[in-house]
A and B are shown apart, each in its own frame.
Chain A
Amino acid sequence: MTNAEFQAVVLAAGRGTRLPEVLGDAPKCLLPVGPYPLLWYPLNLLQQHNFSEVIVVVLEQEKLEIQSAMENTPLKLKLDYATIPGDSDFGTADSLRYIYDKIKSDFLVISCDLVSNVSLYPLINKFREHDASLALLLFPSGFEADVVMPGPKTKHKPERDVIGIHAATQRLAFVSAASDCEDTLNIQRHLLKNRGRLDVYSRLVDAHLYVLKKWVIDYLHRKENISTFKGEFLPHLIKKQHAKRPPKTVQDTTSEVGVVTKNEDHVLHYVPHTILDQKISQTSLFNQSLSHGPYHGDVVRCYAIQAPKDAFGVRVNNTLSFLAINRKLSGIWNDLCGESHPLISPGALVKSTQTKEIIAADNAKLSEKTSLNFSVFGPNCVINPKNIVNNSIIMSSAVVEEGCNIDNCIIGHRAQVKTGSVLKNCIIGPNYVVEEGTHSQAVHLSNADQYMEIDIQ
């Protein structure tokens, strides 16, 4: 284990607060995406890159459920489940800090909601090439752009990041959430000075896939007040790129506040920088600039790689992207994992003849005389004859009775759509029963106030 260059950590302890409509009581990482649970996709990505062991961080109470779900998938990875206590409100950085002991080498961190076919080798090579502290992956946004969000019309404002990357070196200059800025973006002069062109992107999505040096987790371990990785630690680390070693004799004529820097708090205390390293950088001919030392003498270096144009990636962290990935999955399936994984499970019972780009899970019963297009059918769901289902997701154990027309809907777990219903742009909550002959458009139907609508921005 420890002789591998990289360890991999999949963070799967998220609670899925942004997709309450479809989640039901299942863990977020077990959301059905096509035939497999969501967690399978990042694991499959790692497997394709020849990882053999992966640490999966899960909530304690969900461990068994996830474990059994993953055993049902054709995955050859050895999974090492690390549990975090379910009652605590852990952020991503907290989770990493919790499993600190397990990290013995440089490592990858992937969020469980990443579905992508991108090759990680360019990212890892960039990391190796520049002895980077961190490298992250960026996707173009807009995967969900053409999908209409079902349910009542809400102001859906996607979260956007403003990301600054130095064009010549692909060094990250800053990552900040657009909502954190007010009207102006403050850019510090040292980010521009002597570093040439700075490209600022606003339509890229952070894949939440990071390659990190071992020392980073040591540092994170120390910084106990940081709770989230993306929101707090990442900007912190990026800013620390320009940190200089504190002078040995602190001659403090300028500081009135009397900043006391404890050495072990300083980021550079953690960066292994041996005399050999110094000698190497002195003797090395490598330099990107005529007038400065390599990397401007920065020891902490963060890089960003943009996924190639033909690759795709999406983070399934809200209902819209969940719907989008499910509907588009059959079109991109071959890119994603090759032909070896059938989209229509052998255990599914598909009698319908008019189907186009559908995905059916185990034990789904799709009756004859139906027209089913661009849709996903979960395990044990039942579609009776004389139905039309387009662009929709029918979750596990849901039942659609005869003569229904369902378009761009999400039908929740164990929900029932009774005869003759016409639903368009609807979300049907778990266990909900749609009465006979209902005609609905753009509504969210669910049992009582079982789930509160949580508006996160």
Chain B
Amino acid sequence: MAQFEKEIVQAILIADNNVWNFKPLSDEGSTALLPLVNVKMLDYALIALNRSGVEEVFVYASLYLQDIRDHIKAGIATYASWSFKMTVHVIGGEGCRCFGDAMRDLDAKALIRGNFILLGADTVTNADLRPVLEQHKRQAKFDKGTAATLVFKECSNNVRTGNEVLIAVDRRNDRLHYHQRLRTHQKESRYQIPLDVFLGNSCVALHHNLLDPQIAIGSPSMLSLFSDNFDFQTRDDFVRGLLINEELLDSRIYVALLPDTQYAHRVNNWPAYQLVSRDIINRWAYPLVPDMGVYKLQQQYVFHKDNIYKSHEAFVSKVALQENVVIQAGSHVDSGAVISDSVIGANCRIGKNCRLNNVFLMADVTVKDNCRLEHCVVGAGATVNEDCEVSGGCVLGAASELPAKTKLTGTLVTSTPSTQKIDELEGGELELESLGPKAFIISDLTTGDPEDSDGEDFLPQQMLSIPKMGDRLALLDEISYCSDLSDDDDDASRAVTPLADDTNIFLGEVIDSLTRGFREKSNPDFLILEINSSRYAYNMSLKEVNFNVVKAIFGMQTIVEPANNNVLVAFNAAFKQLGPVVSNYIKTEDAMLDCLKALEDVCEENPLVREKISQVVHYLYVKDFVSEDAIQTWYGQLEEQEHGHLRQRLAKLVEWLDQSSEKDDDDEDDEDED
């Protein structure tokens, strides 16, 4: 026993492991030093380790090594709450490019002597990890191949921040058998789990409602496994590699669930940032709440009712702090402002009659009069001039300055044009749209989320945008995949026939996307993204996509049941907004035919459209969605018997087309080239 008593509890803290999602703030400094409710994220992680009885921590940093080193030094010098009974070393190097590299480096340095706690700097938790560590040690005694114990936390199902997992665990010994990260962008309708997982074990529990806070207990062998398998880049690679090659590597992963009363969440993107801020303000993470002197051992805030935390030195005059607000020292809020669900850093100035809702201001931010800010993050030292409206998950980089009367939704703004890394963009087309001398819009598209690499190989070139904050964090609606849809025709065979089903679900999702896009007037590019991701999810061919997109437009509620039964007005409005989406798909002659065929289908279903079909086709022709040739070909293909009515209605239009083409026969070639 003596040797165990001497063993000290060590921990590894990995900083900067999800840089991409916090653009543009991540370009300007370490994400580990990003303030979350006015305390840096690194400090939350260190406090969590301190509370779990850790005695020695290795903070592994790469890009902003010096910043982190300075911060730790400053923390120790000012007696930060984590600095007691815990030594903190900062190590790392520029050469480290991923989590796996960090682990290999740590293995090479041989600093870790026993079982250790592994944490990301982005984890916020009040959990006591000592019992989990004990469980891991017991397990390791019993099974020499124990490589790690992963810690999970139950969560609600409706929010997806990219940290949700589906795992299969052996009920007898808590061994992990299957691990699948749930996708953020779309819902899975079914999960395919290898049968052997179930047949090899008498009882396997499937947990679907789990959150992965990136907490793990590692055995010394975990580090050497990273060294042996140089293709392990992320922690997920490690988990997957071990599950696939468990016999080859002779290593096993176990699972521990945190009790209900303990809080744990990972802040790896803006929606998670919003969520965790809210949880901290609502005291779910107690004692990691603003008024408990997190980090600095002194009372910084006074806690008022409705979760309002106000510094003594904040000047708030005649302002309606509604609820869930944190205001740091030195901030000024002028009269007439209304603030709710927001965090305001030190020395901020908020002008008259501003409205702030779900806004996160870092230090030294100035918001001038009459601004409306909603669901956005403003970096340190930034300025928002008069009468701006910023919403929908905007992020303003440090020291940027929005000109007066700017209206932004869902964009990322940086202060200097040079911060964008060109190589990360597909095709290298770099367009920094300028809003002002100190405000440039940067593209937030990426080819595949580096964090979300869970072997979903069927989405190779899918463009994803950075997850943004939003009003509805419950992005996933309650669409119940009722088995009934497919059920009545498969009574004989139990296997659900996925084909007909998928097309319908796809169409349904496209309709949903378009309806929402139309209502919220969102950027057509995003709609195209959404449709494309649905397309890959349901494995639709291009032809089917063309067909269904057009069909979906006509399936929108506004067109199915237009106001005053005036389908043309509704149709016109829809195409005005969604035109770019359609033209993105309907480019070639074939696609135009698909589009017209879809119209054919729509006519069958919707008598209103049937009445006006010639006007609809004419409109599409005038707006260059379909070419004359396509209309002619289509018209030729319409069968006399089946589509007699349709032909009749279109006859006039086609005649007119014929005439006009005769007139400007010469111009036709030029037109085509346009």
Contact = CB atoms under 8 A, between A and B. Distances in A.
A52 B630 CA distance: 78
A353 B205 CA distance: 53
B188 A199 contact: no
A236 interface: yes
Interface string A209-239: 0000000000000010110000010011001
A242 interface: yes
B189 A189 contact: yes
Contacts of B203: 199-203
A180 B555 CA distance: 38
Interface in B495-516: 496, 500, 503-504, 507-508, 511
Given A180-B494, A244-B484, A259-B488, A186 B503 contact: no
Interface string B582-612: 0000000000000000000000010000000
Max chain A Cβ within 10 angstroms of own Cβ: one of B482, B492, B511:
B482
A201 B202 contact: yes
A192 B208 contact: yes
Contacts of A180: 494
B489 interface: yes
A186 B191 contact: yes
Contacts of B191: 186-189, 192
Interface stretch (B65-73, B132-140, B192-200): B192-200
Contact of A185 (B189, B195, B207, B555): B195
B205 A203 contact: no
A259 B202 CA distance: 40
Given A188-B189, A239-B487, A259-B488, A193 B199 contact: no
Contacts of A278: none
A256 interface: yes
Given A199-B204, A254-B508, A223 B190 contact: no
Given A181-B195, A239-B483, A261 B488 contact: yes
B208 A182 contact: no
A188 B190 contact: yes
Contact of A253 (B188, B198, B511): B511
Interface string B476-493: 000011111101110110
Interface string A144-179: 000000000000000010101001000000001010
Nearest to B503: A256
A255 interface: yes
Interface in B26-62: none
A266 to B, nearest CB: 8
A192 B199 contact: no
A244 B485 CA distance: 10
B205 A167 contact: yes
B481 A225 contact: no
B157 interface: yes
A189 B605 contact: no
A243 interface: yes
B571 to A, nearest CB: 16
Nearest to B498: A186
A230 B194 CA distance: 24
B604 to A, nearest CB: 10
Contacts of B209: 192, 194, 196
Given A167-B205, A198-B205, A235-B494, A242 B483 contact: yes
Nearest to A246: B484
Interface residues of A, number: 52
A236 B491 contact: yes
B262 interface: no
B87 interface: no
A183 interface: yes
A183 B168 CA distance: 16
A144 to B, nearest CB: 16
A261 B156 CA distance: 34
B206 interface: yes
A246 B482 CA distance: 11
B554 to A, nearest CB: 9
B75 to A, nearest CB: 40
Contacts of A251: 560
A196 B484 CA distance: 22
Nearest to B187: A189
Contacts of B555: 253-254
A190 B481 contact: yes
Interface in B201-256: 201-209
Interface string B161-189: 00000101001000000000000000111
Contact of A190 (B480, B503, B507): B480
A226 B202 contact: no
Given A189-B189, A244-B480, A256-B500, A200 B195 contact: no
Contacts of B494: 176, 180, 232, 235-236
A253 to B, nearest CB: 5
Contact of B206 (A160, A187, A203, A240): A187
Nearest to B507: A254
B204 A200 contact: yes
Nearest to A199: B205
Contacts of B507: 254, 256
B388 to A, nearest CB: 38
B201 A202 contact: yes
B191 to A, nearest CB: 5
A162 B198 contact: yes
Contacts of A181: 195
Contacts of A254: 504, 507-508, 511, 555
B204 A243 contact: no
Nearest to B210: A197
A250 interface: no
A284 interface: no
A198 B208 contact: yes
Nearest to A186: B190
B199 A178 contact: yes
A6 B404 CA distance: 78
B157 A255 contact: no
Contact of A186 (B166, B192, B481, B485): B192
A187 B208 CA distance: 11
B206 A226 contact: no
B195 A188 contact: no
A432 B503 CA distance: 63
A257 interface: yes
Contacts of A183: 194-196
A300 to B, nearest CB: 12
A168 to B, nearest CB: 11
Contacts of A223: 491
Given A239-B483, A256-B503, A197 B207 contact: yes
Max chain A Cβ within 10 angstroms of own Cβ: one of B189, B198, B511:
B198
A265 interface: yes
Contacts of B156: 291
B484 to A, nearest CB: 5
Contact of A197 (B190, B205, B484): B205
A180 B511 CA distance: 36
Contacts of A450: none
A43 to B, nearest CB: 31
B350 to A, nearest CB: 36
B202 to A, nearest CB: 4
A182 B196 CA distance: 10
A184 interface: yes
A187 B190 contact: yes
A174 to B, nearest CB: 10
7 contacts: A160-B199, A184-B193, A189-B189, A243-B482, A251-B560, A254-B507, A265-B488
Given A193-B157, A244-B484, 11 more contacts: A178-B198, A182-B195, A185-B197, A192-B208, A198-B206, A199-B204, A200-B206, A251-B560, A254-B555, A256-B504, A256-B507
Interface of B: 156-157, 166, 168, 171, 187-209, 480-485, 487-489, 491-492, 494, 496, 500, 503-504, 507-508, 511, 555, 560, 605
Closest 9 A/B residue pairs (Cβ) = A192-B208, A203-B202, A184-B192, A198-B206, A253-B555, A188-B190, A202-B198, A200-B204, A187-B191
